Structure formats: C-alpha cells, structure tokens
Structure 1
Amino acid sequence: MKIITNKKSLRKNKLALAISASLLLSGGAIAEEAAKDAKVAKALKIEVIEVTARKKIESIQNVPMSVNAMTGQNINDLGINDLDDLSTFVPGLEQPTLAIQSRLSIRGVSSGDNASFEQSVGTYADGVYRGRMNQQRAGFFDMERVEVLKGPQVTLYGNSSVGGAISMITKRPELDSEVTGDITVKYGIEYEHSQVMGGVNIPLGDEFAVRIAGKYRDQASGAAYNHYNQQDSIQAKDDAFRIGAIWEPSDNLSIYLRFEQGNFKTIGNNLDPLMHLNTDFTNKNDSPLIALGMGDDELNIGNGAPFTNGPDFSLVENDETMLEIVYNINDKITLTSITGSSNYDFTQAYDVDITPLSIIDTGQDETYEQLSQELRLAIDVTDKLDLLVGLYYQDDEFKNDFYSDFNMPLIVGGALAPAVKAGLMPAEFAAGLAADVSPFSRHANLDQNTEVAAIFAQIDYEFTDKLSMSLGARYTESEKTADQSIRLADVKHVDDPAMGELKDYSTLVGIVKAGAPYPPGTVVLPDYFMGYQLVAPGGTPHAYTDMLRKEEHSMFQASVRYQANNEMMVYANWANGAKAGGFDLLYEAVGGTGEEGAEFEDESANAFEVGVKLDWETVRLNIGAFYGTYDDLQVSVFNGSVGFNVGNAASSIQQGVDVELIWVATDDLRITANAEYLDFTYDEFNNASCSFSENPLGTANPENNRNECDWSGQQLPWVAKYTSVIAAEHTWEVSSDYNLTNMLSVSYKSEHTTSSDNEILTKQDGYALVHYRATLTSLENNWHVALVVSNVLDESYELYTSKIPLNSGAFAHTLNEGREITLELGYNF
C-alpha cells in the first residue's frame, strides 16, 4: 500500500521566532536617477524608480498606469525563484500551478487551462516575447529587475496581452575596468533545498564586455512522502545558464547578444484525495477513496504511464537567443532591432486517477519553436513631441501529443461493482464484461503554425509643462494553420495500423451513427471505440487537416497625465485590444460537431483606469481605479471525465482598485503596503460547464452532451476580491563594519474558488502568509549571511482542487509547502 503523509505536522513546535520589522517590496528602488527636477533633489528619503514600461527609461511616478517593479536584489532576498513565487508579493498577479497546465493572470485575466490558448498576460525577457509559459520554467536568476504592468498592453507589447504584461530585464555586461561578480549559496532545511547562483562581468577592453551567469537548484524533499515508493513529492531540479556579450564600437552603436539555456524537472505527484460526496452532498461512506487517506493529507498514488510504477514527472528543456542592436542615427532618432529565437521541449507523465492502481495515466510531448523580429524607431520630433513607430513579425510552430491511457478492465469492473455488491449482477458476468474491453490510449494531437505581423506607433505630446498625452495604435494580422486529431491507440502509444475499413461495424450499432468521421487510413478497433464511448460519451475519433484561421485586429491605447505640482500626478488611460483565437488541442468532436467545433474565437478587451501618484518627502502613495469589459472570454473547464470543455464566455466585467504605499518612517525603518480590490464577474455566461454542486446528477444537454449552467453574475475562477501585502524593513548599524537588516512581510488573500469549474464545495477561505528574513552584511568585505523563514506560521491552504476523473462527486487538492527555514551566504567581488 502506498501512503504519502503530509510532513507539515512533523514541523509543529520546531521553531520559536523573535521577529522585528521587515520587507522592502515592489516599491524598492530600481535605480537612482540623476535629479531630474526640484522634487527629486529635495525628497532624498524616497528613491526615484526607473522603469521601461513604455519602451523608454522614465520614473515609475511618471507612468500613467499601475506598475509594480522589483529589483534583482529584492528577488534574491525574498527567495523568489519564479512567477509563482512572485505572485505572493504582487497583489493581482496569480500563477496557480495546475495538474497539467499553469495559468498566469493579472487582475483576474488569465490564459485558461489549455495549451492551445495564447497568453493573456504577455511575458517578455529583454524585449523578447515568450509565447508559452513553458518558456519561463527556468525561472529568475541574475535579474536586473522585473516590471508587472497591470491592464491591457496592446500597442507597444501586443501579442494578445489583454490582461497585462511582465517585463523581465536581465543583468547585462558592463564596460568596467575590472572583473566583478557575485555568488549566492542557499540551503533550505525542511525540504532539503539547495541552490547556487551567480554571475560574473568580464570587460575586454573599452568596447567589449561579457557577462556569464547561472543557477542550479535541487529540492530533494517536498510537502508529502510516498511510503510506497519511498519518494518525496514533489522533488524539483533545475539548472540554467546565460551568456551575454555587448559591443559598443562607438557612442552611437550598441550590439548585445544573449544566449540562455535551461532545464526544469519535477518528480512526483502531490494531489491528495479530498472528499467524495453523494448527489445529496453527504459523504459517500462506501467510497473506495476512503482507504487512501481521503481528507487527511495522506495520499496513495500509483505513478507513471503507461501503467507502470515509474514516478510522475515533468521535464522542460528550453533555449533562447536574442540579438539587440541600438543605433543612434543622430541625437534625435534611435533605431532599435530585437531578434529572438526561443524554443522548448516539454514532456510530462501524470497519474490522474490518484489511486494506487493504474487506471488512468496521462502523458504529453510538446515542442515549441518561435522566431521573432521587432524594429523600433524612436524620434524626438520637437521638444514637446516624441514619436515611436515599429514593425513586428513572429513565426512559431507548436506541436502537442497528449496521451490518456485507460485501463478499461478496471474501469468497467469498478463501474459494475455496485451492481455486483447489490446482487443485481453475477460477479462472473461482470468480470467477463470487463475483460472484453481492452486497455487503450486516446491520442490527441495538435500541430499548429502561427504567423503574426504587426505595425504599431505611439506619440507622446506635452501640451504644457504639466499636461501631456499619449496615443498608440497597433494593427495586427495573424494566420494559423493546424492539424488536429483524436485517435485511439494501444497503450504503447502506437496508432492503429492502416487497415482501411473499420471491421465488425455492426458491433457498434446503437453506439455511433453510421457515417461517423474517422481518420483516413486509421482503423478503430471495436472494443477500443466501446471503451472510448464509456469514458468520453459522444466523442468521435477524427483527423482534421489544413485548418485555417485568419484574424485582423486594430488595437488602441491612450493616456493623459497631469502633473498638478511637485507632489501629485493624476492620470487616465484607456485600451481596446484583442486576444487571438485558435484550435482546441483536446477537441473531442462530441456528437459529430465537425471541424468548425475545433475552433474557439478571439476575445476582446475594453479597459479604463484613472489614478493618482503622490510623492512627499517620506511617503509615496499610488492609487489606481480600473474598469474593463471582456467579451468572448476564452474558457476551459475540466469536465470531470477525460477532457475539457473549451469555448467563449459571452461577456464579463472587471472593476477594482490598486493601492501602493511606501513610508520611510525613520532613517532605519521603511514600511510598504500593496493592496488590490478586484470584482471580476461574468456579465453573461449561460452555457458554462457545471460544477458538481450545480448539477450533481450530471444531467447533460442532449444537443452537445455537456452539463451546462448559467454562471452570469459569478466571480471568475481563482479570483479573490481582496489581496494585499504589508511589509517592513529595519536596518541596524551593529558597528561601522556591519549592518543587520530584519525584514518581515504579511501577505493576505481573501476567499476564492480553486478550480476551473468554480466549485463552491472546494472554495478556499481567506488566509495570510508571513515571511521573515534577517541579514548580516559586511560593509567592508562584501559578504552577507542570512536566515530566511518562509510561511512562518506554517499555514495550510488550497493551491488547486479538481474533480477526480470518472468518480462523480470525488475531489482532490494539492498540498502546499509549509514552513521552510533557509540559510544563505553571499559574496560580491
């Protein structure tokens, strides 16, 4: 018997902490500007923060939108390895890790649970767009800063970034006179987490410099232990390196070349059976999941695919090359070229039945190759007028083979067990029926090419010293060609051999109508098809080739800013944009709906924001209020069987407020606070996929064999109304040679659903996470040591919940990591 035990209970009472103050968060300084105006010269207590949110260097207080920025030092201090970690400290940013996909969102706008969807939140590394989340798996290392741009970024960024954008800027080589660098070593005690990362800058003359950076991370333990295979779950290991070279042969020309490669691997599964309910919502006392430790943070999982006891795993191997050329044609015109090549291979095996038996296993093989080119021309037309114009082209190839393996004798036997137990069916007869249906694999495939071409422009005009305006536009054409299929294969993942006609078609009478489409040259064995109909009622094997989708979008963005005085700037902005549609990887052609049903439509966004940014000598306060409508929002909801219902919600409304506060209380103490209120509801969505609590009997719409409910007025999945982070940082001068810095942060998230079907039975209550860091720094010898405690109070909360396939009323949840104590040593040279 395999049992995975939650290890958090073993950590109780291990630690007693005396904690003093904390944390510098997103308001932390990115760079000190040379005093641009009288206010900066006077207000020495609050740093001027530089960002490139609008493709130019400017103070964050001059940007007419909500922006959170975090320095590379902040990222290291907070132990942020990836976007998931970053979301803990940036209200409104979320990246819940799902069983098969991950979904990145800003202000509730996300890409959904489908690998076919374009990214609603665009991620950009040194200006290179990353079209899929797997390109970001290597995480953060050797970073200059990260900027989180909230609200649609549809003109200067584009690429379907209707929710916002994340701009990641890596450290670049510097033309210094000597070699400099840094190295940091970390060890986490509870989860046996070790990490080494660093970078070195090597100048080679006055014109050329190289920077080499890398990281290695190994987590040998996880939130649970599997007694069956004696493995911790989830284990993780990743490594990455980056090499960049810059050449500046003259004051007018800069050429930067960067190559990056990374590997990200996880081993194990931490989905825990949570509960199993009858249709009247009472506990199912005869549930077979009870023996697996249901609801007590103990798991019993048979890992591997196809039908083996090998471990669940995921592996991403990625590489990226970018070339940036900046040429100052004269003192008023600058030409920038950014060429990017970004690729990855993703492999995954996952046991989705969450039992010790090999009942349903899934696996993916996914590849992505992307080539992009951007040209920008920045022109200082007059002292009051700036013009930015650009061209963009992208070509990418996406291919995913998704296998779902079904052990039909066990599935059929389990389905007949209640009848046998009730004496309604002889056991021998049930066993015979189960043996007649062979194990098989459903092989879903999407092979897609996308071409995108765009032209964009933005003008910035200063009417007076106080009043300015920006107008931007982007015109995009995209073309997608794709092959999509569902084939039935044996469990070795070999599609049935080409035998021409389907044999023994008469055995399928009553199961499928005559003339159902089948892949040309592919045989579907009768018992394979029978099994398929049992697990995916109405699904039809098919092969659609040369599907074509063309889109044209004109997108616009405008903003007005008014500098009332040295302390206050008010602004308003508006954006109207679109996110491209596409083809559904897991389209089942339920009911013979045909090729047209494989498409999902584009979605559109219309968003407004008004705000004020205030700066006093020791206090900074930024407030932004936003309102937006999203039409045809793309959604993907797990149907509780073996697939996802993909489509477009008619309309939704987003509204809320962002607040950021920085208070330099004394020379030694800084307080920061960030908060967001978000109300994001479906305005009209009357054909949503039902949750169990909405339709416990699973009554289906006879037209499409889907359980449909009206979600109009409901909050979107995973969206919490209130999120916040409050933090403090206190620095004590121990002596003339040493500083001791204590940092404490508390992040809060109010109640929210934790699954794509908005199930209220698994809703997570509000919770708070406390993080602490103490750092002793040698001012003379350039070293530091630190003690870091994450999740100080050992808080338990739901990261993600899901229906357990083919078990109506059964749910699983993921185990979060509890308290972690990390020791850190760093050295700069």
Structure 2
Amino acid sequence: MMKFRKNLLAASIAAVPALALTGNVMAQGMLEEVIVTAQKRSESLSDVPISVNVVGGEQISNGGITNLNDLADWVPNLSMNQTGLGTNVTIRGISSGINPAFEQSVGMYVDDVFYGRPQLARVPYLDVNRVEVLRGPQPILFGKNAIAGAISAVTNRAATDVVEGFAEASYNFDQEGYEVQGAVNIPIGDTFAIRLAGLKRDEDGYYDNTFLDQTESQLDHEIIRANIQWDATDNLSFNLKIENADFTTEGRFLEIINPVGGPPTYADALLAATGGAVILDDKQDFKRQSNGDSDETEVDNITLTIDWDIGEHTLTSVTSSLEYDYFQNCDCDFTSAVIIETAGNENYEQFSQEFRFASSTGNTIDYILGAYYSDYDIDNDELLAIDANSILAAAVPAAAPVIGTGNTRLYTMSSEQWSVFGQFTWNISDTLRLTLGGRYSDEDKEGTRNLNVVDLQGQTGPFDQTTFPIVDGTSFAPLVYFAGFGIDSEQFSGNGEGHNLAASRSESKFTPAVNVQWDISNDTMLYASYTEGFKAGGFDARSNLNTNFEFEEEFAESYEAGAKMSLADGAAELNVAVYYTEYSDLQTSQFDGVLGFNVTNASSATTQGIEMEGRWQATDSLYLTGAVGYLDFEFDNFDISQCYYGETPDNPETGLCDRTGDTREYAPELTANLGGAYDIEITNNIGLTFGLDLAYSDDYFVSPTLDPNLKQDSFVKLNGRIVVEDLDGTWSLALIAENLTDEEIMTFGNQAPLSTTLTGGAATAYYAFYEAPSNVAVKFRYNF
C-alpha cells in the first residue's frame, strides 16, 4: 500500500515539468480566470486547495448537458446512474446504492440548499451559471453527508443593473425530441430586479418497446423559476428564488440481457407459462418488451438568501423550503408477460436554515463561522401486485394463494438535525497558510416500516394507488409470500414477530479538517490536507425481512496532496491531486435475488488514486482541455456480501460471499477526457467553431454483487459540435453530436426479478439500463 502511494506521488510530480515545458514552448493565448465558491467565498479556482472540477454555463449549453448524468463525461471519477428504484451518484468509487433510506454519499446542493434525495438528482438544468464538483469528503462547509464529495450548482441571479436574457431552442433528430428554454432579467428601479426562467422538454426516447409499439423513455419536463433581487442598501441585499419543476417519463431505457443457465432458460419458461404468447428478446439491441412504466415528479423550492455586510464581515442567511411528490408505476418484471406490477408514491418535505459569518480575506486570520438546522419527513408507500392475470398461476401452481393479492410497504422517516461549524485560515506569511476546521453535528431520527398482504379486489395493473384492504385471517397468501418470495409480512413472518417496525436513533459527531497551502512561486501552489467525514445511519426502507431494519453510520478518513499551477505565462494551467481515503462501516444495498434489497455495513474499504486536470489556450483560436482520474478501490474487509447467481458461497452456512480484496461497482480504474475547440473567423461578424470531446472509461461493474454478466467493457465516447455564431455574442446555431462512436454503455443492472424462480433455479437473466446510442441535435440560441 505504501509503495503504491509513493509511486503515485512520484508519477504525478514527474508529469508536471513535462507539461510545463510543453506549455512554455508553444502557448500563445491567455486563459480566462475561473471564479468558484467551493469554500463559500468567491475566489479563483487556482487558489482553492481542493480537487475541484468546474463546468460553466456556456460549456453546459454548448455541450448539450441537460442534467447531472451528462456532466459525468466532463469530470473524471464522477458517475451518475439511474436505476429502477433510484439514482446512484458516485465520486471516487463511493456511492450510496439504491435505497430510499440512504442519505447520499455525494452531497448535492443548488444555491447552497442541500438536495439530499436521489430523486432530486434528476432535476433538469435551467439557467445555470456553473456546476462545481468537489471530490473527497467535504464535512466542514457542506455538512455531514458529503462523505464522498459535493456537487454544487449555482443558478443565475437577478441583476439590478442590466436588461438581458436569452432564448434557446433545440431538436434531437434521433430521439425526436425538442427543448425550448429562456430567461429574462428585468431591473426595476436602481435596487430591485426580477429574473424569470423557464424550460420545456419533450422527447420520445431511444428504446423501441416492440410490445406496445412505442418509443421509450418518453420525457416531458417543465420548469419555471422566478428570482427576485432587492439591494435594500449598499450593505444589505435579499434574494428570493421560487421554483417549480415537473418531470415525467413514460417507459424505461432498459432491457433484458445475458441469459444464463437452463434448460429451461428464462425465455423457455416464459414461453411455456404463456402458451407461446411471450417471446423474450434477451439480446442487447435497444429493444424491449414491457406492459408499460411511468413516473412523475413535482418539485417545489423556495429559497431566501440574505447577505449583510457588517464592517469587514458578511453575515449570510439561507432559508429554504423544499418538497416533492413522486409517483411511479413499474412493470418490474421488465417483460411483456404479466407477472408482477409495482406502484409507489414518495412525499418529501424539508426545511433548512443556515447562517454563515465570514471575515474579509487577507487578514492574519480569515474565518468562516456557521450554524445549520434542518428537518425533513419522508413518506414512502409501495405496492407489489400479483394480479389475477399473472402467469404465476400457471407457471408456479404453489403460488395460487397469492394471485389477486399484493404486498404493501409503508415506510416513514423523520429527521431533525443541527450543526455548528468553523473554518480558520492562518496566513503565516505571504506564501504559507494553515487552515483548521471542524463541524459538530447532532441528529435525531425516527423510522417505521410496515408490510401487509392486501386484497387487490379484482383490480389489475397498471395501478394508480397503493392502498387496499388487508387480507382476512383465513388466507394462505401471507405464508406463500414468505415461503416463495422471502417476504415477512405483518400477518406471517419467519420468526412470528410480524412486520410492523418502529425505531428511533440519535447520533452526533465532530469532524475535523486540516489543510496546509504553500505558494512555492507566483505560479504554483502546493497543498496537503487531512479530513474526517461521516454519513448518517438510518432505517432500511427496502428489505423484506423484519430482522433487517436499522443500519449504522459510515466513517471516512482522507488524506490528499495536490498542486495547482499556472503555466506558459498564464496560457495554461494544471491541477494535480493525490488522495487516499479509508472508509469504515461502508453502507451497501444489495439485491436479495428475488424481490427485495438488503442494507449492510461493510467492515472497511480503501479508495486511493490521482486526478489531473488541465486547460491550455494554445493560440487565440485553439483551446484544449484534458483530465484523467486513476482510481484504486478495494474492500479491506467485507465477508458478508451477497453472491451473484451461480457463485459458490465462501460461507456455506450463510450463503454469503467474501469480497475482501475486491473492487466495487462504478469504480473504473481509469477515466479520462480530452477536448478541444478551434475558432475560425469567417467574416468580420461571423465565426465558426469546431469542437470535439473524447470521454474514456475503463471497464467497471454495474451490480454490487460484481456479477461478470453485468460488467461494462471499457469504451471511448466521442462527442462533437459545429457552431456558427455572431461574434458579438447575439446568436448562435449549433449542430451537436453525442456518442458518435455508438458505444453501448451500461449504467446499471441486476438479476431480472423472478427469473430464477420461474426456471426452478435452473437459470436466470438480467436487466440493464443503457445510455443513448449516437444522436444528433441542432440548437439555436439568441442572447439579448
């Protein structure tokens, strides 16, 4: 381990002079300074002693970036993957997994407001100024749950001194989708302004559902936002943001793939159970068969930010009310056969208040002090339905008692937390700085989970409700749910205790951070840091076992060293970070092989690697960017992992496998991107830009069981754009191409539910989500 760290550091240091020499010899232009608020102050990116990647608003527009998933191509060691039950956001191999109970390992923030739920990661981008990705634990200024890193999106505020705005329209030829968005900034007098922004997106998708004869996933996104700015005095300002987002999908971008075992195979079993009516396409071809899926999310957010300059200090208050309603209907056997249907509704309400008191900079000691309070409530109701049309009646005669019934899961969790934090920077000299910080957090949680077998009263899917009467005491259905599907219910459980759980927990933690910065020259800053972080424990929302409810906190200790360099007289820059992080009690969520997911705390894991990012204004016309991330993730001790299908358990008594020494899902060893843009002046008023971007990823697993049937091969994705624009910046017309190499990129996968059950254990199959194949869009933008 130590040898690896020494070699990694040596390699990063050796790379610096080579890149510096190249820049000094060839560079001619000058880079534009990037301003960020990664440390809750406006400062140059080159002065921030953290591994930070910034994607600006212009880059978001030019690159066709519509949400967090698209952003991952530009940021090494970052991925965002949508699943059947949630969204995984991963930094340096660390993510939360799919469980509604989990706090996110990557803290997501929009205008300083914590967006902690995975569903909020799907909110489309609108009128965004920039997105900052901070890698590594960020416990001081971003809070207890940013144990892997933080993603901070900053939207455009209203400005009191200018009338401006934009209108933008695009059309995607391959997915037959259009998007229109725009914003207008209107000053009212000298101290008041309002900025209105809106977005409408409609898209048919890139999957062909051959059973329903329609394309999927069909998207319908709408967002409206009002941002109101009042500069009450020269020292006091108020900003109010009111936003509503509504985004729906019809269908999913997944399919059944990689059949294993038999006879009978999964396709054989479905064919026999339906009398030849269901022919399963189990090849990866962007075609699927399903009875239909849909989901809808509505998000409302009101945020009031107050900035008050008091002498040489600034007091900032951020008050927010955030809530959403989410409903989904899922044909969760993912075939055209009627086997199981699910429906679910989640309601989330959050209130938060943060105060920050910041000194001016340039003093002997600069500091930021703060306090934070939040409370939230989650209500998650789900229905697993086996209606009267289910083929289980013919395929599994023993399942007869559950035909026409369902299993409801009612889950609630409430949280109340507060914290205080401080970060102090001692400017020891003009070139040497020491930063000390700490945060104390205290949280109380209460959770409940109740599983009941219900009578569907003759209703068949798709279902638009989750509430049905509980079956009577003479029914054998609860026994069959337990024996056949491993579901403990309130009416029947393996240990006779029912499934009506309630618990509370309290936890508190102090997390420190230490950082040293040294300006070895006017162009080079070195830094080293030590940080501790933790992620809250909670109550499992997804397990079907009444013995699996509470899980514990997750902890991290992280070491990082880096350099930020300006090269070639300001024409180029290079940022390097080397990191080593140890995690204990790592929270994981794994499919139980039938219908549920179980949460466990892995004993320990280590993630380490290197990140290098650079940009170079090679000439006045040529701009180049590049980044690379090397990641080595390893479970140090994890002997309670679920096995994949056909794997021999390491512990025959428990049926579990030992992943000690193994990697985990979403942890490719190498990720990189390389981009360039070349400008040509056609006339005195018209310019032409050619842009090309390459994104590379090493192979990686997409399932926590590390099933080799769910491993994504390494790939190179090529994106390009041609832009014709008015040199005054008034208008632009762009042709944007994504995934020109037509890579088949798997983003999540798992065993197809009941595929092993229907084949009597002789075979299984898998489902997997895939990114879009190659597609081309045209975009027009008008600025005023």
Query: Scaled by the length of structure 1, what TM-score is found?
Result: 0.85
Q: Give the Cα separation in 2 of the matches to 1:709 and 1:60.
A: 44
Residue by residue over 1:108-149, the C-alpha shift from the partner in whole angstroms, topping out at 9 and shown as x without a partner, is: 111111111001111111111112122343221101111000
Which residue is 2:462 aligned to? Answer: none
Secondary structure in 2 matching 1:291: coil
Looking at structure 1, the residues matched to 346 and 622 of structure 2 have their Cα atoms a distance apart, in angstroms, of 49
Question: Which residue of 1 is the match for residue 20 of structure 2?
Answer: none
Name the counterpart of 1:80: 65
Deviations for 1:540-598, whole angstroms, at most 9, x for unmatched residues?
554445511100011111111100001211001111011000001123235xx3xxx31
Q: What's 1:23 paired with? A: none
Asked if the contact 2:212/2:289 (under 8 Å) is kept, the reply is no
CA contact (8 A) 2:240 2:303 kept: yes
- Which residue matches 1:406? 386
In the alignment, the residues of structure 2 paired with residue 296 and residue 105 of structure 1 have an alpha-carbon distance, to the nearest angstrom, of: 25
CA distance 1:127–1:69, change in 2 (3 Å) = same
Q: Distance in 2 between matches of 1:678 and 1:243?
A: 41
User: 1:573 — aligned with what?
Assistant: 529
2:177 aligned with 1:214, yes or no?
no
Residue equivalent to 1:452: 417
1:526 equivalent in structure 2:
476
Is residue 2:275 matched to residue 1:320?
A: no
Does the residue aligned with 1:529 lie in a helix, a strand or coil?
helix
User: Which of 205, 210, 217 lines up with 2:189 in the alignment?
Assistant: 205
Asked if the contact 1:685/1:712 (under 8 Å) is kept, the reply is yes
Tell me the amino acid that sits aligned with residue 470 of structure 1.
Answer: T
DSSP 3-state at the match of 1:73: helix
| In 2: Cα distance, 1:141 partner to 1:91 partner | 23
Corresponding position: 1:361 with 2:341? yes
Alignment-mate amino acid for residue 728 of structure 1: G
CA-to-aligned-CA distance 1:517-543 (integer Å, 9 cap, x gap) = xxxxxxxx3234323421126665544
The aligned runs of 1:67-466 (5 Å cut-off) are: 67-176=52-161, 178-220=162-204, 222-278=205-261, 286=268, 288=270, 291-297=279-285, 299=287, 301-303=289-291, 311-330=292-311, 332-380=312-360, 383-407=363-387, 410=390, 412-413=392-393, 415-416=395-396, 430=397, 433=398, 435-466=400-431
Q: Secondary structure at the match of 1:112?
A: coil
Q: Cα deviation per residue 1:492-534 (whole Å; 9 max; x = unaligned)?
A: 54444597xx44xxxxxxxxxxxxxxxxxxxxx3234323421
What SS does structure 2 have at the residue aligned with 1:104? strand
Distance 2:651 2:289 in 1: 31
Which residue in 1 is equivalent to 2:768?
Answer: 813
1:796·1:818 contact (CA, 8 Å) conserved in 2? yes
- Contact kept, 8 Å, 2:386 with 2:402, in 1: the verdict is no
String of CA shifts for 1:86-118, please: whole Å, max 9, x gaps. 112211111111112111111111111111100
User: SS of the counterpart of 1:167?
Assistant: strand
Question: Match for 2:78: what amino acid?
Answer: L
Q: Pick closer, same or farther for the CA change 1:804–1:464 going to 2, 3 Å.
A: same
8 Å Cα contact 1:183-1:197 kept in structure 2: yes
SS of structure 2 residue aligned to 1:96: strand
The offset of 1:285, in angstroms, is 8.2
Letter of the 2:429 partner, please give it: T
Does the CA-based 8 Å contact 1:188-1:820 persist in structure 2?
A: yes
Matches within 5 A, 1:469-618: 469-491=434-456, 493-497=466-470, 502-503=473-474, 525-536=475-486, 542-544=498-500, 546-589=502-545, 593=547, 597-616=548-567, 617=569, 618=571
2:4 matched to which residue of 1? none
Mapped to 2, the partners of 1:45 and 1:273 lie a distance apart of 51
Unaligned runs of 5+ in 1: 1-38, 304-310, 417-429, 504-524
Separation (CA, whole Å) in 1 of partners of 2:749 and 2:121: 24
In structure 2, distance between residues paired with 1:805 and 1:769 = 31
**1:567 maps to amino acid:** D
Alpha carbons 2:139, 2:146 under 8 Å: kept: yes
Measure, in 2, the Cα distance between the counterparts of 1:149 and 1:298.
Answer: 34
The residue that corresponds to 2:642 in the other structure is: 689
Letter in 1 for 2:66: N
Q: TM-score, normalised by structure 2?
A: 0.89
Q: After the TM superposition, which parts of structure 1 deviate over 6 Å for at least 4 consecutive aligned residues?
A: 282-285, 698-701
Equivalents in 1 of 2:286, 2:270: separation in Å? 14
Report the CA distance between 1:286 and its aligned residue: 4.2
Q: Paired residue for 1:468, among 413, 420, 433?
A: 433
Match of 1:665 in 2: 618
CA distance in 1 between counterparts of 2:470 and 2:779 reads 57
Q: Give the Cα separation in 1 of the matches to 2:660 and 2:262.
A: 24
In structure 2, relative to structure 1, the CA distance for the partners of 1:240 and 1:406 (3 Å cut) is same
Deviates more, 1:672-681 or 1:813-822: 813-822
Structure 1 CA distance for aligned equivalents of residues 523 and 361 of structure 2: 29
Name the structure 1 match of 2:720: 772
Aligned position for 1:506 = none
- Residue 61 of structure 1 aligns to a residue whose secondary structure is helix
User: What is the alpha-carbon distance in structure 1 between the residues aligned to residue 688 and residue 249 of structure 2?
Assistant: 36
Shift of 1:410: 4.7
Q: Structure 1 residues 225, 585: CA separation in 2 closer, same or farther (over 3 Å shift)?
A: same
Evaluate the alpha carbon distance shift between residue 269 and residue 414 of structure 1 in structure 2; reply closer, same or farther with a 3 A threshold. farther
The CA distance in 2 between the partners of 1:84 and 1:238, in whole Å, is: 16
Q: CA deviation at 1:435?
A: 4.0
> Could you tell me whether the CA contact under 8 Å between 2:651 and 2:657 is conserved in 1?
no
Give distance in 2, aligned partners of 1:673 and 1:71: 15
Counterpart AA for 1:611: G
**Please, which moves more after superposition, 460-469 or 381-390?**
381-390
Output the CA distance in 2 between the equivalents of 1:736 and 1:775.
16
How far is 1:408 from its partner? 8.2
Distance 1:180 1:279, change over 3 A: same
1:154/1:162 contact within 8 Å kept: yes
* Counterpart code for 1:667: D
Asked if the contact 2:169–2:179 (Cα under 8 Å) also holds between the matched residues in 1, the reply is yes
SS at match of 1:327: strand
Answer yes or no: is the 8 Å Cα contact 1:320–1:340 preserved in 2: yes
Instruction: Find the aligned partners of 1:774 and 1:302 in 2 and give their Cα distance.
Output: 38
The answer as to 2:755 corresponding to 1:799 is: no
**Structure 1 residues 65, 440: closer, same or farther in 2, change over 3 A?**
same
Indicate the larger mover: 70-79 or 293-302: 293-302
**Taking every aligned residue pair, what percent have the same amino acid on both sides?**
32
User: Which one has the bigger strand percentage?
Assistant: 2
* Secondary structure, aligned partner of 1:662: strand
2:284 and 2:39 mapped to 1: Cα distance? Answer: 50
Distance 1:382 1:765 in 2: 50
Cα drift, residue 229 of structure 1? 2.0
User: For the structure 1 residues 365 and 84, does the alpha-carbon distance in structure 2 shift closer, same or farther, using more than 3 Å as the test?
Assistant: same
Query: 2:38 is matched by which residue type in structure 1?
Result: A
The 3-state SS of whatever aligns with 2:87 is coil
Whole-Å separation in 1 of the counterparts to 2:468 and 2:270: 33
Distance 1:632 1:699, change over 3 A: closer
Distance change (3 Å), C-alpha of 1:43 and 1:743: closer
Q: Return the offset for 1:454.
A: 0.3
What is the CA distance between 1:298 and its match in structure 2?
A: 6.3
SS at match of 1:118: coil
Supply the AA of the counterpart residue of 2:279: A
Distance in 2 (alpha carbons) for counterparts of 1:115 and 1:445: 12
* Residues 487 and 495, structure 1, Cα contact 8 Å, conserved in 2: no
Q: 2: CA distance between counterparts of 1:674 and 1:279? A: 45
